Structure 1
Amino acid sequence: MKKNCIVIGSGFASLSAACYLAKDGWNVSVYEKNDSLGGRASQFVKGGFTFDMGPSWYWMPDIFDKFFADFNKKTSDYYQLDKLSPAYKIFFSDDIITIGDSMDKICVEFERIESGSSKELKKFIREAQINYDIAINKIVLRPGLSPLELVTKETILKVDQFFKTISSQVRKRFKNPKLISTLEFPVLFLGAKPSKTPSFYSFMNFADFGLGTWHPKGGMYEVIKAMQNLAIELGVTMHTSMPIDKILVSNGKATGVSSGGKIFNADVILSGADYHHSESLLEQKYRQYSEEYWDKKVFAPSSLLFYIGFDTKLKNVEHHNLFFDTDFELHAKEIYDNPQWPSNPLFYANFPSITDTSMAPKDCETGFFLVPIATNLEDTQDLRDQYFELIMNRFELRTGQNIRNNIIFKEIFCVNDFKERYNSYKGNAYGMANTLTQTAFLRPNLRSKKVTDLYFTGQLTVPGPGVPPALISGKLVSELIIKDN
């Protein structure tokens, strides 16, 4: 007889797990609290403008390819994928670095900034590629149950890289601060300072320079729609606008969930919702981790986000743009070391309609601005407005254009919204940081240690933050569930 699994949440990890379990013959039901699927990868549409509310970088295309291949499908069965050229621009106070769509183009740009740097860059990326192969084909495919999972003949040779930092390794090879910032940027996706991130994670630099930056036509939400369609093809049922208020446990075994006074029973419960929130749905005695545990963990930043519709095409920008025209170190300290609203923040600006005209009306631009900030900050309208002015001033200065009069509308999303919409712990945007003491088996478990048949997936557990890791997390937990049952 088929077994039943209830999946709480519908982000990348939840949908991934739902597909793998359904493929194995399970009856799978997904329950989402919001009115549309996707979790933090939601979509916002207004007046012909389309915004990805969360992830907007499509990196590691091989991970997406592998996911769909597991179901004898291809990404092209569901969405069109284009490689961005250039991948992105980085604005500094006195220069702009353009990251091209090939190593040759990137090497030329590095040489322009620092003579002889291209030789070091090629060596660095070759080593990063070896790390990528070990990470993606060995380490991340393990469920984080034991420290021995990290011990392979490949990782033994790399053990020193778990105790050195990205920052130290980059600074050993490159002297120009702009190139250092360019190479330290990708680990920000892992949610920690480069000076706290093991140098093994240089594999993110290979993901960036080696594999390139891509864009699914219509935006990242097309991937969510693809996974939803695949899940439905496999027999998964979807329920939206159904927040779960309790995980039911009987004699130490998860037996179901309740939503709005109704009870839904299942053989296995899997939560892809925020891990801290998921445990709050249990009686105290069934929770694995205390409030003190969560409070001591290093969380990836939250974000202040502006979604803006412009009635004109913008100049001097690309699809992805990073504004590193202020003090990188100071901003990092104001996120991690001394949490406060940043005095002069770095920020990111995304204009997908530059390469994908389907995402904005004709002669208009879809704009998404992101300021990384510490978690759990005070979030008021005054602060949101203050930072909007600060960001717009810098954007207009660096790109040489006045755009405020071209704003049709703007929507703002910040700490309070992350808490309310996603039940996000302290309003974090990206989950728990991948520091040395929060890697692999040192992260919260995929399987509950206190409740039988209760499992977790997503960015707070194994393997960590980011969209490709979320796809892998869903696969890992599904394999664990299948093995246990």
Structure 2
Amino acid sequence: MTVIGGGISGLAAAGLLAREGHAVQLLEQNDTLGGRAGRWEAGGFRFDTGPSWYLMPEVIDHWFRLMGSSAAAELRLTRLDPGYRVFFEGSAQPVDVPAGRHGAVGLFDSLSPGSGESLARYLDEAEDAYGVALERFLYDDFSSLRGLAHPKVLRRAPQLAAMLAQSLHGRVSRRFSDVREQQILGYPAVFLGTTPFHAPALYQLMSHLDLTQGVLYPQGGFAALVDAMERLAREAGVHILTGARATGIVTGPAPGGPRVEGVAWTDAQGRVHRTGASVVVGAADLHHLETELLPEELRTHPEAAWNRRDPGPGAVLACLGVRGRLPQLAHHSLFFTRDWRDNFDRIRRGTAPAEATSVYVSRTSATDQAVAPPGDESLFVLVPSAAVPEWGRGGVDGAGAPEVEAVADAAVRQIATWAGIPDLADRAVVRRTFGPADFVHDVNAWRGGALGLAHTLAQSAFLRPGNASRTVDGLLYAGASVRPGIGVPMCLISAELVLKRIRGVHGPGPVGPPVVPLRGEALLGEGTSPERNGSRESGAAASEAPVSGATPPRAAAARVGAGAGSRWLT
């Protein structure tokens, strides 16, 4: 078997298939693994250039358990408290969103008296929707729709239909009049590559993840997760080749129609190879796989179909190594404009933000002392944009395309003004930017999309591209372009859907025991207690609680890889 792509979904699929007993070769075009879950290092500063919110911990742990381990054994997880900080345009003080349901209810009551009770009901519904999604939808490749007739689904059919017919913003705004509360409940739509005005209200379930379960952080960043996955995949027998660019999926005739025979690829020296394979897993961008590696007559998704699809947002990213401390920022900080609808409309139109825009900042050095020199800070800044590769690529020390550098400069000025850090730009001694064209260059992203196909109604569940080619037997797909969707947990599930296909298992549900949503103390892992450990600073901005105990010996050696890649997000 051959897997194309060494991102999260490719590593996950290769590991599961090798663990199953198959001979597996993985081809990765870049020099380092991780795909959108990239990393970069300079001047003693380390950066995740991709995923930074560790959500759905039960899904990640489930993959590790299928590999004979666990998240607690492979990672050192920290629960963030506050989960994140929000700066609202025009508001003098930011709002810290505490970890856990009780704190979130109290916060809402402080923002709008009486709204805590509404939030409690909202979170009950979100938890129920998430539980049903785990059991009936996320682990289903929808090769058959019989699973939709399950009693648990039928009993909730009226509620589910209402959630699909309504936008997330519509559902939230009918229950919460405070704009700040609306934005706290609506922003998770951005994780799904869309907006609260276009995401179905079913994605209310996302609030269960950040408000009830809380936000975790793996020490060493998501690079540590990639390293742990690579290690387990290699131990299972996966033969990993980096600098190996797939150039074609080789097919041949068979009684039932075309089927895969292998993959053509070139190595780092430009030599041409052909590897035979009875199964090929395309764990790269689906548009690239079908339009670049298959002839037109064998494509499941012709170009006309792509013209009707939403690539999701692009992004401009900036990695900043900053001298001195930045207590004004939490581990995760969100900057929200007052007129959100106008902000999202400008993003969709591809208008460069010449004024205030919504921005995300990750200050991992608030929690992880290894990512910056002592007393300094590592910042990752994300500015959502349209998928506009025409803006160009980023660069080091201001050497990126003018449009990209201008967007990054504006974001730094906005952060400095809103958070009260007037000398932020002057204190940045390390800087690298990434633009929409970097996603095309580094991960072959369709139209420069930073995340994958947006989770609109027409691109969710069984309406999303499937995990198997309809024209080529033996060609399977995993990753953010296909079911179940965007994000590290979703990519892990897509790998499991590939395993189920190969086993001939159809219908909902994971391989092995059920995946049960974790709450409260269960998030703290095995054999650990919830007492707090010391953070790098006092106060709510960076308090943290150990989740999975001390760093396990075999994970310590590979906590943060030293490779410098230029990839990004999940």
**What range is the shorter-chain TM-score in?**
over 0.9
Query: Normalising by the residue count of structure 2, what TM-score does the alignment of the two structures yield?
Result: 0.82
Matched, 1:453 2:455: no
TM superposition shift of 1:23:
1.6
**Letter aligned with residue 350 of structure 1:** S
Is the 8 Å Cα contact of residues 326 and 346 (structure 1) preserved in structure 2? no
SS of 1:123 mapped into structure 2:
helix
How many residues align? The count is 480
**Letter aligned with residue 202 of structure 2:** F
Alignment deviations for residues 153-199 of structure 1 (CA, whole Å, 9 cap, x no partner): 23331332222221111111100111101100112111122122221
Is the 8 Å Cα contact of residues 247 and 293 (structure 2) preserved in structure 1? yes
- Aligned position for 1:290: 302
CA distance in 1, matches of 2:203, 2:497: 20
Matched, 1:48 2:44: yes
Match for 1:359 among 357, 362, 371?
Answer: 371
- Aligned position for 1:227: 229
TM superposition shift of 1:144:
2.6
Q: Any stretches of 5+ residues in structure 2 without a counterpart?
A: 267-271, 393-400, 506-570
CA distance in 2, matches of 1:20, 1:389: 43
Matched, 1:319 2:331: yes
- Aligned position for 2:414: 394
Alignment deviations for residues 250-296 of structure 1 (CA, whole Å, 9 cap, x no partner): 11111111112111111111110100001121111111112121121
Matched, 1:440 2:452: no
- Aligned position for 1:342: 353
Alignment deviations for residues 10-30 of structure 1 (CA, whole Å, 9 cap, x no partner): 111111111211121100111
SS of 2:29 mapped into structure 1:
coil
Is the 8 Å Cα contact of residues 340 and 377 (structure 1) preserved in structure 2? no
CA distance in 2, matches of 1:144, 1:439: 11
Alignment deviations for residues 32-53 of structure 1 (CA, whole Å, 9 cap, x no partner): 0000011110111112211111
TM superposition shift of 1:136:
1.3
Higher fraction of helix: 1
- Aligned position for 1:59: 55
Match for 1:482 among 481, 503, 515?
Answer: 503
Aligned residue runs from structure 1 range 69-468, under 5 A: 69-93=65-89, 94=91, 95-156=93-154, 157=156, 158-251=160-253, 252-260=258-266, 261-279=272-290, 280-336=292-348, 338-343=349-354, 344-380=356-392, 381-401=401-421, 402-468=423-489
- Aligned position for 1:12: 8
CA distance in 2, matches of 1:377, 1:71: 38
**Letter aligned with residue 385 of structure 1:** E
Is the 8 Å Cα contact of residues 315 and 399 (structure 1) preserved in structure 2? no
CA distance in 2, matches of 1:196, 1:150: 24
Query: Normalising by the residue count of structure 1, what TM-score does the alignment of the two structures yield?
Result: 0.96
CA distance in 2, matches of 1:341, 1:185: 20
Larger mean Cα displacement after TM superposition, 240-249 or 92-101: 92-101
Alignment deviations for residues 424-460 of structure 1 (CA, whole Å, 9 cap, x no partner): 1000011011121112221112111111111111111
Using CA pairs under 8 Å that are at least 6 residues apart, name the structure with larger relative contact order, 1 or 2.
2
CA distance in 1, matches of 2:308, 2:148: 24
CA distance in 1, matches of 2:187, 2:282: 31
Is the 8 Å Cα contact of residues 193 and 454 (structure 2) preserved in structure 1? yes
**Letter aligned with residue 102 of structure 1:** G
Is the 8 Å Cα contact of residues 84 and 215 (structure 1) preserved in structure 2? yes
TM superposition shift of 1:117:
0.6
TM superposition shift of 1:323:
0.5
TM superposition shift of 1:389:
2.4
CA distance in 1, matches of 2:465, 2:353: 30
Is the 8 Å Cα contact of residues 17 and 499 (structure 2) preserved in structure 1? yes
SS of 1:267 mapped into structure 2:
coil
CA distance in 1, matches of 2:362, 2:287: 30
Alignment deviations for residues 337-378 of structure 1 (CA, whole Å, 9 cap, x no partner): x33323432010011011110111111111100001111253
